[in-house]
Amino acid sequence: MNAPTKASAGAPMQNKPSGYWARVAGDGNKMGFWFVLPTLLLMLFIVIFPLLMQLYLSVTWWTPLEGIAWYRAWEVFSWGENYYFLATDPRFWGALWRTLIVMVFAVPAQFFLGMALAYLFVDQFPGRKFFYSIMLTPMMIVPAVVGLMFFLLFQGTGPINEHLGLPSNFSWLTDVNRAMISVIIADVWQWTPLMFLILLAGMLGVPSDQLLAAKLLGGSNWQNFVKIILPRMKTVIIIALVLRAVECFKIFDLIFIMTKGGPGVQTETISLFLYKQTFGELEWAYVAAIGLTILFSLSVIAAKGLAYMAKNNG
């Protein structure tokens, strides 16, 4: 045998836990199986079956109105009509556009405000714990209640108009332009604390001696922030932005309570559009088609995003 042998040959990479557990994994696997079983069953129940059903319903004209059981929906088979309709439905594209508008304004606003707040709170100061708790309250309040709070604030006869010296017929929630602004303000109010919380955790994770070292080397606060703190927070920033973007895409409760998507369709985001299609128009087959399209698109985006992050971090 002249061929050089590799030292690592025969020792494949192990992804399993090391130590004692790996050696006696037999029995452990048995118990582990029973441990994962409930979750696996729930996942099967909520993923596989509904997905197939959604696929099935989305190619029919089925609605709960006509009294046909869902499994007999093939009787009203529609081929790809729902998908074709979706591609040309201005109301869907409008809703998507408005969802993006909310995201584009709310998420960066939350990010910059959250970052500024985190910078305020990164050092100790008397009363920090108290103010920190106050800062966190908005995100702990039931979103529907936040909707109610801003619904009350933005009434014509509410305190905001009074403070700004506007007449009581100056409307926010029923105005074509200001309705969207009101909704974004409410979302920023509720979710800036989340950004703040995450970014502060990230900022506190920057090793303090590195920051001191940067100061001692003569870097100004701004230089140190840009060159030391920000790059070190990269992962945290990505997590915070992705979390908020995903949640913002789903936004429903706030808007539904504040404006019901109105006036007209001025604040109708994807979730509100779907809700109205489901309960207003009762076009369940159409909603299934839209849902599946969103599901597919988001999955592709998520997969691409994960692959991109894996490439950049690896």
For the CB of residue 314, give the shortest distance to another protein in the complex, in Å.
14
Q: How many residues in the chain?
A: 314
Q: Does 253 bind another protein (CB under 8 A)?
A: yes
Q: Does 53 bind another protein (CB under 8 A)?
A: yes
Q: Tell me the CB-side half-sphere exposure of residue 88, using CA atoms within 13 A.
A: 5
Give the C-alpha separation, 108 to 114, whole Å. Answer: 9
Q: Does 117 bind another protein (CB under 8 A)?
A: yes
For the CB of residue 30, give the shortest distance to another protein in the complex, in Å.
8
Q: Are 192 and 146 in contact (CB under 8 A)?
A: no
Neighbours of 141 (CB within 10 A): 14
* Binding residues among 273-302 for another protein as defined by CB under 8 A: 274-275, 278, 284, 287-288, 290-292, 294-295, 298-299, 302
Q: Does 305 bind another protein (CB under 8 A)?
A: no
Question: Which residue's CB is nearer to another protein, number 7 or number 63?
Answer: 63
For the CB of residue 205, give the shortest distance to another protein in the complex, in Å.
8
Q: Does 36 bind another protein (CB under 8 A)?
A: yes
Question: Which residue's CB is nearer to another protein, number 119 or number 175?
Answer: 119
Question: Which residue's CB is nearer to another protein, number 104 or number 226?
Answer: 226
Q: Does 79 bind another protein (CB under 8 A)?
A: no
Question: Which residue's CB is nearer to another protein, number 176 or number 309?
Answer: 309
Of 11, 216, 310, 311, which lies in the binding site for another protein, with binding defined by CB under 8 A? 216
Neighbours of 228 (CB within 10 A): 18
Question: Which residue's CB is nearer to another protein, number 9 or number 216?
Answer: 216
Give the C-alpha separation, 58 to 76, whole Å. Answer: 11
Q: Does 63 bind another protein (CB under 8 A)?
A: no
Q: Does 120 bind another protein (CB under 8 A)?
A: yes
For the CB of residue 84, give the shortest distance to another protein in the complex, in Å.
19
Give the C-alpha separation, 155 to 144, whole Å. Answer: 17
